[in-house]
């Protein structure tokens, strides 16, 4: 007889969104279970190896579980996070996995079950009631799909999308008008099986990386031609647990490279056909192994597979010599999955800036009520090996660097149009294929998961279905959460520590027509935010300030190994951004922050008056 377990909230899949959903549901008080296939929580953040998150990097967006995760990383990795140039936050995946496991295991009303995948979904009419596993069934009032590929959507016969939509459907400016060779080759974005390399030292040869079967070096030719060797290898570098002080150097390199690299997209429809998914995984893994072999043999033999990074869980990892499989993520990094057909669908028009503005329009319902529950800002980014796919720009310069137009997601993109008892919390939200390029990133998916988990717990408290939960109740709960309050309205000059943070968020929820096109509340002074004092461990600098273009800042340091060596100046903090905009060319300045050799930038935390 098959055992049955009853909980309030069941989260299936413990990726980035699923982990966040389980945490928030349990923290709110619901009896929660999260079921994962693998022994690590976190998905993209950890087990898939993309430990250099993109998006939501500015301090105003560092709220909720994303902000809490950054602060925990800073405590656990005192050497700092500012190492690679693709992200301001790079960390050892083991550190991220440990933090999430500690959070989950600290909650007595949250049960984490490892080593199971969903095999079926039970339902009564239009309501999802449970999920079947190999030896047991879990029933729940609310079930959340946190799987990497939206597996419950198929198992539960819940209407969903897979693939492209044409421009006629939503008038998305970047959508193709009809099928093209690109759309026929790639129904969704390509995944990547991330591999971590290790620097074994100058003059040393790392253990040889096996040559995989069907290895074709021609497909990797030119991978770093436009970047140079140093910039290529430092793309996603991070400090390993075994490394010492910051001055001791960086010896781990996350390889998640889109240009003639380890993105893999052959016959992607296999991902939604269970019988052939494993076949795709084997090819994807071999492709990444081939790229690692190419780097070692063509770039430098000092670079080899890192040891001891990931637990060995997949057959592909187990196929390598002892300990070499630990250099590869536990599973691929999936950029896209099946996508729910929800009450609301996020399209490209929802993530692009307002005309003559630098924020997107706030989502509202038919009554004009703001439905925002999560903030994202990533520039729209799609991965199709061998093809260039231009998209409408949604980038801007801020703080001396490129960032993306901030936008908010509506609550309705988590809820099926016609099915009850069910929410989604991953890349499986109700979003168009085009907009998915901006909604798929780790920080936003954490926020999506937090919103889904909070909504599920509130449905338990109020004995209602997700579609009947008033969105203002959900927004208030997110904004006032005792552990990780999460913003829902993006404002460039509103930081999480600002004394008017909550009242300002609530003000624009009540008055969406007053939301400023430039994303700055004119009545809000950034001076209300605290400015961290310079720390002994910070990088202290002085020199001559230079401005070459709009939001393009540099420093000729007082002490330099090369005459007139320019360092770039950037910041993630609003009041420092304002200070930089006010400086004059040639002005003497001094301050402190972190120095990132990969990006040749100083991230300023403090500027001397």
**Contact in structure between 99 and 20 (CB atoms under 8 Å):** no
Whether 497 has a pLDDT exceeding 70, the answer reads: yes
pTM for the full predicted model: 0.96
For position 240, what pLDDT does the model report? 81
> What domains are there in the chain, each with its CATH number?
3-161+337-514 (3.50.50.60), 195-327 (no CATH), 539-607 (2.40.50.140)
CA 201, CA 503: separation in Å to the nearest integer?
53
For position 245, what pLDDT does the model report? 41
Average pLDDT, stretch 273-279? 88
N- to C-terminal Cα separation, the chain: 73
Q: Is 103 helix (H, G, I), strand (E, B) or coil?
A: helix
For position 248, what pLDDT does the model report? 43
Among 194, 150, 188, CA closest to 47? 194
Tokens of 459: 């449905």
> Phi and psi at residue 468, in whole multiples of 5°?
-95, 0
Burial 175-212 (b: 16+ CB within 10 A, else e): beeeeeeebebbbbbbbbbbbbbbbbeeeeebeebbeb
Beta bridge partners of 339: 161
pLDDT digits 0-9 by tens, 326-335: 999 999 999 9
pLDDT digits 0-9 by tens, 423-443: 999 999 999 999 999 999 999
Band of residue 247 on the pLDDT scale cut at 50, 70, 90: very low
Among 14-18, 36-40, 129-133, 210-214, name the one with the lowest average pLDDT: 210-214
Whether 527 has a pLDDT exceeding 60, the answer reads: no
CA 425, CA 306: separation in Å to the nearest integer?
32
Whether 243 has a pLDDT exceeding 70, the answer reads: no
CA 283, CA 262: separation in Å to the nearest integer?
11
Q: H/E element holding 509?
A: helix 501-510
Whether 71 has a pLDDT exceeding 50, the answer reads: yes
For position 529, what pLDDT does the model report? 53
> Phi and psi at residue 315, in whole multiples of 5°?
-60, -30
**Contact in structure between 416 and 341 (CB atoms under 8 Å):** yes
Average pLDDT, stretch 511-529? 84
Average pLDDT, stretch 365-391? 96
For position 390, what pLDDT does the model report? 92
- In terms of Cβ atoms closer than 10 Å to its own Cβ (0-12, 13-18, 19+), residue 580 is buried
Tokens of 334: 């999936």
Burial 417-453 (b: 16+ CB within 10 A, else e): eebbbbbbbbbbbbbbbbbbbbbbbbbbbbbbbbbbb
CA 261, CA 220: separation in Å to the nearest integer?
6
- Tell me which residue has tokens 């140093």: 230
Band of residue 265 on the pLDDT scale cut at 50, 70, 90: very high
- Tell me which residue has tokens 């026929």: 184
Give Dmax over CA atoms of the chain in angstroms: 79
CA 41, CA 251: separation in Å to the nearest integer?
24
Among 57-66, 378-387, 535-544, name the one with the lowest average pLDDT: 535-544
Q: Is 110 helix (H, G, I), strand (E, B) or coil?
A: strand
pLDDT digits 0-9 by tens, 555-578: 999 875 555 589 999 999 999 999
**Contact in structure between 160 and 153 (CB atoms under 8 Å):** yes
pLDDT digits 0-9 by tens, 133-149: 999 999 999 999 999 99
Q: How do 32-36 and 3-12 pair as beta strands?
A: parallel
Count of other CB atoms within 10 angstroms of residue 277: 14
Whether 98 has a pLDDT exceeding 70, the answer reads: yes
For position 534, what pLDDT does the model report? 62
Average pLDDT, stretch 533-543? 79
CA 271, CA 17: separation in Å to the nearest integer?
20
pLDDT digits 0-9 by tens, 167-217: 999 999 999 999 999 999 999 999 999 999 999 988 888 999 999 988 999
Determine the Cα angle at 519 with ends 515 and 525, to 5°: 95
Average pLDDT, stretch 64-85? 95
For position 531, what pLDDT does the model report? 58
Give percent of the chain with pLDDT exceeding 70: 96
Q: What is the mean pLDDT of the chain?
A: 94
């Amino acid at each position: 007889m098959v055992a049955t377990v009853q909980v309030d909230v069941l989260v299936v899949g413990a990726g980035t969104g699923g982990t966040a959903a389980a945490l928030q549901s349990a923290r709110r008080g619901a009896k929660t279970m999260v079921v994962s296939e693998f022994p690590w929580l976190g998905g993209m953040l950890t087990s898939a190896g993309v430990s250099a998150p993109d998006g939501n990097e500015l301090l105003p967006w560092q709220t909720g579980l994303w902000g809490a995760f950054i602060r925990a990383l800073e405590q656990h990795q005192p050497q700092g996070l500012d190492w690679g140039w693709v992200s301001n936050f790079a960390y050892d995946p083991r550190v991220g996995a440990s933090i999430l496991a500690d959070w989950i295991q600290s909650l007595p009303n949250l049960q984490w079950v490892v080593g199971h995948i969903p095999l079926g979904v039970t339902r009564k009419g239009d309501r999802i009631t449970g999920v079947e596993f190999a030896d047991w069934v879990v029933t729940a009032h609310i079930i959340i799909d946190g799987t990497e590929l939206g597996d419950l959507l198929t198992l539960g016969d819940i209407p969903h999308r897979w693939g492209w939509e044409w421009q006629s459907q939503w008038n998305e400016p970047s959508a193709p008008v009809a099928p093209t060779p690109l759309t026929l080759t790639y129904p969704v974005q390509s995944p990547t099986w991330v591999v971590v390399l290790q620097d074994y030292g100058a003059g040393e040869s790392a253990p040889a990386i096996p040559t995989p079967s069907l290895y074709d070096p021609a497909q990797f030719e030119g991978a770093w031609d436009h970047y140079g060797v140093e910039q290529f290898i430092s793309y996603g570098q991070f400090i390993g647990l075994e490394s010492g002080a910051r001055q001791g150097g960086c010896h781990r390199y996350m390889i998640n490279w889109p240009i003639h690299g380890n993105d893999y997209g052959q016959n992607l429809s296999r991902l939604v056909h269970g019988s052939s998914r494993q076949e795709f995984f084997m090819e994807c893994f071999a492709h990444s192994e081939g790229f690692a072999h190419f780097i070692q043999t063509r770039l430098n033999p000092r670079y080899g597979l890192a040891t001891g990074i990931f637990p060995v869980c997949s057959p592909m990892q187990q196929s390598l010599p002892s300990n070499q499989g630990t250099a590869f993520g536990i599973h691929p990094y999936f950029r896209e999955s099946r996508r729910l057909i929800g009450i609301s669908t996020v399209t490209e028009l929802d993530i692009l800036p307002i005309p003559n503005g630098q924020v997107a329009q706030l989502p509202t319902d038919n009554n004009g009520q703001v439905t925002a529950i999560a903030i994202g800002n990533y520039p729209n980014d799609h991965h199709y090996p061998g093809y260039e796919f231009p998209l409408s720009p949604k980038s801007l310069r801020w703080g001396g660097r490129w960032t993306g137009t901030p936008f908010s997601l509506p609550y309705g993109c988590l809820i099926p149009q016609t099915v009850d008892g069910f929410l989604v919390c991953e890349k499986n939200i109700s979003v168009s294929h085009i907009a998915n390029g901006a909604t798929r990133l780790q920080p936003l998916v954490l926020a999506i998961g937090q919103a889904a988990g909070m909504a599920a717990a509130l449905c338990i408290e109020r004995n209602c279905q997700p579609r009947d939960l008033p969105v203002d109740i959900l927004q208030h709960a997110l904004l006032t959460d005792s552990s990780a309050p999460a913003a829902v309205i993006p404002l460039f000059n509103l930081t999480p520590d600002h004394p008017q943070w909550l009242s300002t968020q609530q003000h624009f929820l009540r008055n969406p027509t007053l939301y400023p096109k430039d994303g700055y509340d004119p009545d809000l002074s950034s001076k209300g935010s605290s400015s961290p004092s310079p720390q002994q461990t910070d990088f202290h600098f002085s020199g001559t300030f230079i401005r070459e273009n709009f939001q393009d800042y540099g420093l000729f340091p007082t002490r330099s190994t090369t005459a007139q060596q320019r360092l770039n100046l950037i910041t993630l903090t609003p009041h420092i951004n304002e200070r930089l905009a006010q400086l004059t060319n040639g002005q003497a300045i001094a301050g402190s922050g972190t120095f990132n050799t990969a990006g040749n930038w100083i991230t300023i935390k403090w500027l001397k008056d």
